[in-house]
Amino acid sequence: MDESLGEELARAEKDTGVHLKAGELFKRFDKNMDGVLERGESDEVANLLDRFDLKDDKLTFQDFKVGVRSGRKKEKQKQRQNQKNHILEHMRQETERAITVAKQNAKAPKTKGWSQQKPGRKKKKHGKKKKHG
């Protein structure tokens, strides 16, 4: 079975917070309880087979389960990759901001700090010392 049903379920589960097991979902579709979803069984099954472009007119539980599980796994991998990309983008932006601030600080005129400036006192000129006496 195509993985797209599993991917769709994983997205719906993320949005709603409700996890549907593959068996529960299959039972919901399997109206005659024979363990096989067939095109003539119900409109839901026909829509399912059409929507996911399944070539066969039948779908066994095993194929359904494998498709759902692998689709869920694939969707979770996509979600993890999206999270990683988001974090990396955030880190890149923060690095660019830090570089910009560092460049601005490097261009700013240097001023004396408060400890180097003493109000009311002039710097002594170093030259010959006067003799007192």
The answer to whether residue 10 sits within a structural domain is yes
35: domain range? 4-76
The answer to whether residue 114 sits within a structural domain is no
The answer to whether residue 93 sits within a structural domain is no
Model confidence, pTM? 0.52
The secondary structure of residue 40, as a DSSP letter, is T
- 43-69 pLDDT per residue, tens: 888 877 777 766 777 888 888 888 888
Question: Once rounded to an integer, what is the mean pLDDT over residues 60-87?
Answer: 87
The answer to whether residue 126 sits within a structural domain is no
Question: Residue 57 belongs to a domain with what CATH number?
Answer: 1.10.238
The domain tally of the chain equals 1
Is pLDDT above 90 for 29?
Answer: no
The answer to whether residue 29 sits within a structural domain is yes
Q: Chain-centre distance of CA 94, in angstroms?
A: 17
The answer to whether residue 118 sits within a structural domain is no
